[in-house]
Structure 1
Amino acid sequence: MMLSFFDQFAIPQILGIPLILIAIITPTLLILSPSKRLIQNRLSTLQMWLSKTFTKQLMLPINLPGHKWASILLALTLLLISLNLLGLLPYTFTPTTQLSMNMALAVPMWLATVLIGMRNQPTISLGHLLPEGTPTPLIPILIIIETISLFIRPLALGVRLTANLTAGHLLIQLISTAAFVLMPSMALTASMAFIVLMLLTGLEVAVAMIQAYVFVLLLSLYLQENV
């Protein structure tokens, strides 16, 4: 049976049950829940400090009505970071390499920001489709272009996350395969490939966290335009 490099992105199944459900539930078990003790341990205290710092930084440019989204955006960030890092472990699966899942996260969140803007400030939200001072002959063209760019936003969110993670995983598999194949005949070249693999793995860890942050940051910018 011949396997391709893209088989790692196929959803594994056992007895017809897709394991993506287990992969999505697992990160929730890794996040510590606050206990009822007066003094927390070091790990939970560090987690709470990081959560508060990130939330404060994320909500800083957003108006006060948008602060209601703090818990949603924080939960989405933790979910994406956990799922992205989960795929770097051996014998695991990365759910965020599936465009369908990323679009399922991006479209409802983007649509919610748009509907909030249409409900609370419809004039300002519609005004984003036409920049101030536009010449009269260009008005129809600019409205069409801005409308298309508005509807492309969720697609860009999902495709960006999928493409970055897929490219990183493919590079890791290509270099690891090369190092394994070259080890018996060209030990020096295989050792160099292994060093590159270690550096690329560290880079992929950073990319996994950065892409989760970028996903939520863009959502916060869309929210800022509509609150």
Structure 2
Amino acid sequence: MTMNLFDQFSSTYMLGIPLITIAMIMPLMIFSHSTRPITNRTITIQNWLMLKFTNQLMNPLNKPGHTWSLPLLLIMYTLVVINLLGLLPYTFTPSTQLSMNMGLAIPLWLATVLIGLRNQPTTALAHMLPTGTPILLIPILIIIETVSLLIRPLALGVRLTANLTAGHLLMTLISSATLLLLPMMPLVSPMTLTLLLLLTGLEIAVAMIQAYVFTLLLSLYLQENT
């Protein structure tokens, strides 16, 4: 029984083993890997999606930014797996923790900034002050642009945390309501169960979309500095 709504964000253990470990092993157990050189449909679809995703991210970037294709693809894949595994029962979603998301967002954002300052310092600093700015507004605009630059990693981490946390809390509330209404209002309980199933499908989409948005914003920050 859930004593607190936020208990779901604590790692669950069974016989001293974190259940998130079992959840991470489950995909390997479900999808058997063949040693034959012939690829199956799952691998073909996966390679096609990875190629489309990489092309979409790399097209707006200059040639020096193409070296980030593999890191961005790995970030996208890692976040999708973590977010989807967190939807399994009795598991733990690490991406609902702000500390993890900020630990992922700050170094990656800082890397894009340092790349811009190293490769094209004049262009990188020119973003702090638009062309044709009146002299009296120069100090104010520099402060505003500096704050907007420093708030980017916070926006990355908070966006991912808030969206996943809100969805998990809503699923917990609806599932608790379904169990409570089952003995008291048997006709209403199936309706809440249907709503829970629809919300689960929505959360699956949100888990993938948020991983994509996180990676896309990183590519946009990289585009400004390459």
TM-fit CA distance, 1:60: 1.1
Unaligned runs of 5+ in 1: none
Q: Return the alpha-carbon distance in structure 2 between the equivalents of residues 129 and 15 of structure 1.
A: 55
TM-fit CA distance, 1:39: 2.5
| Conserved? CA contact 2:20–2:92, under 8 Å | no
Match of 2:161 in 1: 162
Match of 2:89 in 1: 90
TM-fit CA distance, 1:63: 0.9
Match of 2:76 in 1: 77
> Aligned ranges for residues 139-178 of structure 1 at < 5 Å?
139-178=138-177
Q: Return the alpha-carbon distance in structure 2 between the equivalents of residues 8 and 208 of structure 1.
A: 17
Unaligned runs of 5+ in 2: none
SS of the residue corresponding to residue 151 of structure 2 reads: helix
Distance change in 2, residues 1:36/1:111 (3 Å) = farther
> Aligned ranges for residues 27-42 of structure 1 at < 5 Å?
37-42=36-41
Amino acid of the residue matched to residue 168 of structure 2?
H
| Conserved? CA contact 1:102–1:158, under 8 Å | yes
Q: Return the alpha-carbon distance in structure 1 between the equivalents of residues 12 and 141 of structure 2.
A: 46
> Aligned ranges for residues 1-227 of structure 1 at < 5 Å?
3-12=3-12, 19=18, 22=21, 37-227=36-226
Amino acid of the residue matched to residue 134 of structure 2?
P
Count of residues in correspondence between the two structures: 226
Q: Return the alpha-carbon distance in structure 2 between the equivalents of residues 140 and 221 of structure 1.
A: 26
| TM-score normalized with structure 2 length | 0.91
Q: Return the alpha-carbon distance in structure 1 between the equivalents of residues 23 and 72 of structure 2.
A: 17
| Conserved? CA contact 1:76–1:216, under 8 Å | yes
Q: Return the alpha-carbon distance in structure 1 between the equivalents of residues 93 and 11 of structure 2.
A: 9
1:12-41 Cα distance to aligned partner (Å, 9 max, x none): 457888x498489659958x8x98754212
Distance change in 2, residues 1:2/1:39 (3 Å) = closer
| Conserved? CA contact 2:109–2:153, under 8 Å | yes
Distance change in 2, residues 1:224/1:2 (3 Å) = closer
| Conserved? CA contact 1:103–1:154, under 8 Å | yes
Identity of aligned residues (%): 63
Q: Return the alpha-carbon distance in structure 2 between the equivalents of residues 146 and 27 of structure 1.
A: 46
| Conserved? CA contact 2:181–2:189, under 8 Å | yes
RMSD over aligned Cα, in angstroms?
2.6
Distance change in 2, residues 1:2/1:96 (3 Å) = closer
Deviates further, 167-176 or 189-198: 189-198
Q: Return the alpha-carbon distance in structure 2 between the equivalents of residues 46 and 115 of structure 1.
A: 36
TM-fit CA distance, 1:76: 0.4
SS of the residue corresponding to residue 183 of structure 2 reads: coil
| Conserved? CA contact 2:23–2:91, under 8 Å | no
